[in-house]
Amino acid sequence: MAVQDDLKTVGRARSSFAKGTDIDEFATMLDKFERGEITPDQWRGFRLLRGTYGQRQDDVHMLRIKNPQGVVTVDQWRAMADVADRYSRGFGHITTRQNMQYHFVKVHDVEPAMRRLAEAGMTSREACGGAVRNITSSVFSGVALDEPFDVTPYSEIMTRYFLRHRLSGILPRKFKISFEGGPTDTIKVAINDIGLVGLIVDGRRGFRVFVGGSTSIMPVSGYRLYEFLPAEEMLEVAEAIVRVFHALGDFKNKHKNRLKFLIKKLGWETFVAEFEQRRAEIRAEGGVALPVDPATLPDEEAPSWPRPEAPSVADIATRVTAGEVRGPGIHPEPAPVFDVTDAQYAEWAATNVRPQKQSGYVTVIATVPLGDLSSEQMRVLADLSLAYGDGQTRVTPGQNVVFRWVRQEETRALYERLCAMGLPLGDADTIADVTSCPGAESCKLAVTQSRGLGRYVEEHIRANRRLIALAPSLDIKVSGCPNGCGQHHIAAVGFQGSLRKVDGRPAPQYFVMVGGGAGVEGATFGRLVAKIPARRGPQAAERLAELFAAERQDGESAAAFFNRVDLKAVKTLLADLEPLAPEDARPEDFIDLAEDHAFAPETSEGECAL
């Protein structure tokens, strides 16, 4: 069974994921499409597998770039900055699956963008479409205090195994794989088609394995396939699962062709039997061995090379303010902050600095509002990762950026430079750190401007810091439609975009869902408690935070609380926010957040189902 990439290249010395032939083929197929030699459907299917996704606006596309395991090197930040400047709006967007997305890209700019990214080892191959998508991994793996072992190299091996795999681009629909290294689930393994949690049993490395998880319509927590699978067998098991999906999955009904629907159709016992049959076939073919001995994989070591001097605060501020962002939609607006006080630093460090298991080092989280980074901010991140880290950063499912291997004594200096580049915010992974999908700004499926609500709610919470103190663990996620790219189904408080009619006029609204969460034992999904006009989102979030703070039990998480609490009581709490009578409606109620014109939702077939 052919595997195209060198699976043994793991760690900081990872080799390129890119291939020039992929880009040559893209250019050839675009030329064929424009000459009428292939149909629009054929072209669409091809470009999706190259990470090029149609937007709701004519003649522009979203380009999705994979960051396997969330890792981004210095050269990659600089390449992504160049692409943002030359071919997009001067900024990029971090996604909940550790990708980088560019919007409003002209189709003839995709090829040169791909070539610039390939120079830094990056690819968009199988970033969209019916493929094994970007394989995600905990950004703290390798440095976390409580992990059994570093799962990052295993995740990279899996990435290289399925990249350009013979089945990867011809699956019924998307297929997601995720690795978690510790007992605290930072990557949400239970909502993946395959989720793997690192364990050591009797001195042997391996994984608890979940299969068939997903959100969107019919959210499902992954079924436990193995309580412990030796690491040596992970590729064989993943290959067998993918073969079952390819052989028996539904290629016709695009809205019911994820692996979870196949498991439901077959029943768990029949699915397992089909899996075991495929695994036996693979063994008869010679098996799929792990290309390295798990016992020989070394732990990640502290950087031993001289670190360059960091750019000054003044230089960073000059650079980011000189950068240009443009085009439609919400933009990042880097505003340098100077003269950081001891109190400001202490408050930030309480949430954004975490000790590593390696003595003397910490992990630092840069909070990135809405996951948006300007090109100049990307270039500064590259410089800071060299000066203060190990030359790599990792992007998170919460749309932030993580520095590892920061010396404790240099944390203040790094923070001052984050402030200078316009990233002064703390409260990472708290109620104030709202996650959002791109929404109706660009997506064909989205009903509402989810980014507008995300910014509106976050600004309200940060302006009322008592809410952060009351309910720091209450996470908030926003999606512009039921598909859930913002992962609202697994948030303590999730907002799902919708619409209502008020005296015949469309108005943006959100379904409010509570009680979602995900851990290494499984996921729970939010329950609907209200349907509210968009501009009442901050009020709903505030009331739910106050309820949680007032009635939670000691040590109870927000997800557990909202699963325990009487749903009628929560609905009653929000009931007065729901009505919008014609005589009470204000003009702004008919304008979506972040827009300046009347709400006129236009959805069409989204390509995420293709």
Structure confidence at residue 298 as a pLDDT band (50, 70, 90): confident
Q: 29-56 pLDDT, tens per residue? A: 999 999 999 999 999 999 999 999 999 9
CATH 3.90.480.10 maps onto the chain at 18-124
**Residue 564 neighbours by CB distance under 10 Å:** 12
Of 162, 173, 150, the closest CA to residue 71 belongs to: 150
- For the residues 102-131, what does the mean pLDDT come to? 98
Q: 211-256 pLDDT, tens per residue? A: 999 998 899 999 999 999 999 999 999 999 999 999 999 998 877 8
User: How high is the pLDDT of residue 610?
Assistant: 46
Residues 518-537, buried b or exposed e (16+ Cβ, 10 A)?
A: bbbebbbbbbebbbbbbbbb
User: How high is the pLDDT of residue 2?
Assistant: 34
- DSSP code of 166? T
3-state secondary structure of 412: helix
What are residue 530's phi and psi, to 5 degrees? -165, 160
CATH topology of domain 435-609: Sulfite Reductase Hemoprotein; domain 1 (3.30.413)
By the 8 A CB rule, do 142 and 300 touch? yes
- For the residues 61-82, what does the mean pLDDT come to? 98
- For the residues 65-92, what does the mean pLDDT come to? 98
Task: Give the CATH number of domain 129-300; options: 3.10.150.10, 3.30.413.10, 3.20.20.70, 1.10.287.110.
Answer: 3.30.413.10
- For the residues 270-292, what does the mean pLDDT come to? 97
The upper half-sphere exposure of residue 605, i.e. CA atoms within 13 Å in the direction of its Cβ, equals: 7
d(CA 132, CA 241): 12
By the 8 A CB rule, do 490 and 525 touch? yes
DSSP H helical segments within 119-180, as ranges? 152-162
Who contacts 152 (Cβ-Cβ below 8 Å, separation ≥6)?
A: 10, 11, 69, 71, 137, 141, 142, 179, 181, 300
Of 534, 541, 480, 481, the closest CA to residue 506 belongs to: 534
Distance of alpha carbon 120 from the chain centroid = 21
Structure confidence at residue 296 as a pLDDT band (50, 70, 90): confident
pLDDT > 50? residue 1: no
**Residue 162 neighbours by CB distance under 10 Å:** 22
**3 state SS for 257-307:** CCHHHHHHHHCHHHHHHHHHHHHHHHHHCCCCCCCCCHHHCCCCCCCCCCC
Q: What percentage of the chain carries pLDDT values higher than 70?
A: 97
By the 8 A CB rule, do 367 and 352 touch? yes
Look over the chain and give the mean of its residue pLDDT values, rounded to a whole number.
95
pLDDT > 90? residue 601: no
pTM comes to 0.96
Q: Hey, what's the torsion of the CAs at 404, 462, 375, 607, to 10 degrees?
A: 100
CATH topology of domain 313-420: Sulfite Reductase Hemoprotein; domain 2 (3.90.480)
Give the β-pairing of 476-479 and 435-436.
Answer: parallel
Tokens coding 118: 């390939």
Q: 157-195 pLDDT, tens per residue? A: 999 999 999 999 999 999 999 999 989 999 999 999 999
Of 339, 342, 335, the closest CA to residue 411 belongs to: 342
d(CA 244, CA 223): 15
Tokens coding 70: 């969330």
By the 8 A CB rule, do 383 and 310 touch? yes
**Comparison of pLDDT for 15 and 6, the residue scoring more:** 15
d(CA 331, CA 373): 9
- For the residues 130-146, what does the mean pLDDT come to? 97
By the 8 A CB rule, do 260 and 250 touch? no
CATH 3.30.413.10 maps onto the chain at 129-300, 435-609
What angle (nearest 5°) sits at the alpha carbon of residue 487, between those of residues 481 and 490? 120
**Amino acid letter, residue 221:** S
CATH 3.90.480.20 maps onto the chain at 313-420
CATH topology of domain 18-124: Sulfite Reductase Hemoprotein; domain 2 (3.90.480)
